[in-house]
Structure 1
Amino acid sequence: MDQPATSPERGSPRKRRVTAETMAEAGIALTLPRVTVKSVAQSLGVSIVAIYNNIEDLCALKALVAEEILRRWSPPLPADDESMHDALLTLASAMRELVHSNPGIAEYLIGLTPSSIDAIRMADVVQTRYRVRYDLTPKQATWAVITVVEHALALAEIVYNDARRDREYDDAIAARTDLDTLPGAYDTIDRGPDGMFVWSMRTVVVGTLALVQAPDFEQA
């Protein structure tokens, strides 16, 4: 009688087929800051060599993961009855949510290269919608969207995040008698990180609109 096939050793990771899709899925689960060739290989239960057989290097692996994150994300586009001011604020808030939901994506977005095929295509779709909806020139649409997106990425990544202690020290600063201006700038309204982000982005949006609508913008 034939002997039964030897069962796999218990506890060993189940090997998965190595494809762009499975590597991207593993990378998303890990999050971009934790993506390495070794970590993805371990997640898939394969060797490091198996990963390198399908990807050029770590940068390419991270780009693969980031591009898949962006393919699954739908940026908000201006509605037919929406002002450009409101549409840009909505876009800024969506970028902040994207950054906070996907650690590491901000770093990828600020360093796009010609090989970032899907990310650049998505950016073009957004800018084209702004150009058509608000009767802008290509330069106006591109500068408006990029300016707002870059500031939203920076604020979301560095300033208005979970580590920010918004009002923890406000009362103590407001009570100082050796300061002339700062105490008077603190109010009693607790806007929270979300409110402060929108407040800051309103400044960016208003300034951006004034700039791109200036008569000499195309010559700048």
Structure 2
Amino acid sequence: METSASTPRRGRPRSITRERIAAAGMEMGLTKLTFVGVAARLGVSHMALYKHVPNLEALKRLVAEEIFCRWQMPESAGPPQDSLESYLRLFSASLRELVRRHQGLAPYLIRRRATTPGMMARIYAHQEWAACRYGLTQERSRWLLSTVAFHCIALADTVYAELDADEAAAQETGAGGTGAEAAGEEVATIESEFDRGMQALICGVLQML
């Protein structure tokens, strides 16, 4: 008789750590996250998991924070950019990719009540870095980065959610290679328009400074 995937194995109980919970949650994805699913991946009962995380929303916040804190911000990924405009374009591209790879993360980045203290600490540190690097006041750095990030996250969340839905529909209908090629062309077009839109926004906010 086979043992259910959600039934913990007998023997010494496995340790339940924040890191293991986050890793299991990231493996599932925020949009598909469940207590039973995470517990199964940890090899424990969902009741055991409740002793460490009180509810599903707390579980999602934990996973969202870990995703964000593992994200390598552009200032730590290579040489600094020569201009503030160049950095903002790199920042928005990196942020767009983060949202694309982790559907369901956007609300935890743009809704203050959903953003965890750990995430806010990293956001503030980034704003301080930009203020120092580009000779901005703390207030201007905060406004500039927040404005670019908000629009980039919101747009990326909408665009990629729609693309994922279209791809899922195509798979259900058994679309062949032609459908895949058309989808690839659409993605390329959308991302090109995304880049142009973010460039226009960045130029506009820099003019406002």
Judge same fold: TM > 0.5, yes or no: yes
Superposition TM-score, scaled by structure 1 size: 0.73
**For 1:192, which of 186, 189, 192 is the aligned residue?**
189
Where does 1:24-35 land on structure 2 (aligned, <5 Å)? 24-35=22-33
User: Comparing 154-163 with 126-135, which one deviates more in the overlay?
Assistant: 154-163
Q: Is the 8 A contact 1:33 1:103 kept in 2?
A: yes
Q: Is the 8 A contact 2:103 2:161 kept in 1?
A: no
Shift of 1:158: 0.9
What CA deviation, in whole Å up to 9, does each residue of 1:41-90 have, x standing for no partner? 22223222111111121111111111111121111129545211111111
2:113 pairs with 1:116:
no
What CA deviation, in whole Å up to 9, does each residue of 1:8-48 have, x standing for no partner? x7444454432212211110000001112222122223222
Superposition TM-score, scaled by structure 2 size: 0.77
Q: Is the 8 A contact 1:160 1:194 kept in 2?
A: no
- Give 1:116's aligned amino acid: T
**For 1:202, which of 194, 199, 204 is the aligned residue?**
199
**Cα distance in 2 between the residues matched to 1:82 and 1:109:** 27
Q: How many residues align?
A: 180
Q: Compared with structure 1, are the counterparts of its residues 136 and 52 closer, same or farther at alpha carbon in structure 2 (3 Å cutoff)?
A: same
Corresponding residue for 1:154? 154
Q: Compared with structure 1, are the counterparts of its residues 43 and 191 closer, same or farther at alpha carbon in structure 2 (3 Å cutoff)?
A: closer
Percent of matched pairs sharing the same residue: 33
Corresponding residue for 2:72? 74
Structure of larger gyration radius: 1
